[in-house]
Amino acid sequence: MTFWHSFNQWMNTPFLHIGTLHIDAWKIIGYVGALLFALRWVVQALYRKRTGHNIMPTVFWTISLMGAGLSTLYFIFGKNDSVGILQNSLPAGVALYNLILDLRHKSAAATAAAAANGQSGK
């Protein structure tokens, strides 16, 4: 038996039983991913309330990637469910793209601010 097979078998072994619900390590990863994916909207709403702007903060995209990544892991290894894999991996690509754009914009803005203040970065 390979390491991966043993590991996956251990991850799929239920350790908590609540009625007919059986919780294993992959389900915990899936639950955390789903929670993070939902939490990003709370972050965005709080950010909008605080700033008054409808702009997605960087942490929104970071949480999106973490949530989509954990959920995708659950659907790949915990459930082996192609619908769940597709459903979570496609938004992860969009979140990654937006995170890269956001970080580039912040870097360019910091460079412009430094230049405006007469700093050359030396």
User: For 1-59, how does the pLDDT look when each residue is reduced to its tens digit (9 = 90+)?
Assistant: 798 888 888 887 888 888 887 888 888 888 888 888 788 888 888 888 888 877 788 88
pLDDT digits over 79-99, tens only?
888 778 888 777 888 888 888
Residue 37 has a pLDDT of 79
Long-range contacts for 7-10 (Cβ within 8 Å, ≥24 apart)? 8/77
CA within 13 Å, CB half, 88: 24
pLDDT at residue 120 tops 60: no
The SS3 assignment for 21 reads strand
**Mean pLDDT computed over 102-110:** 88
DSSP secondary structure code for residue 4 in this structure:
H
Which ranges constitute the DSSP H helices of 14-116? 25-51, 58-73, 82-116
Residue 2 has a pLDDT of 92
**Mean pLDDT computed over 95-106:** 88
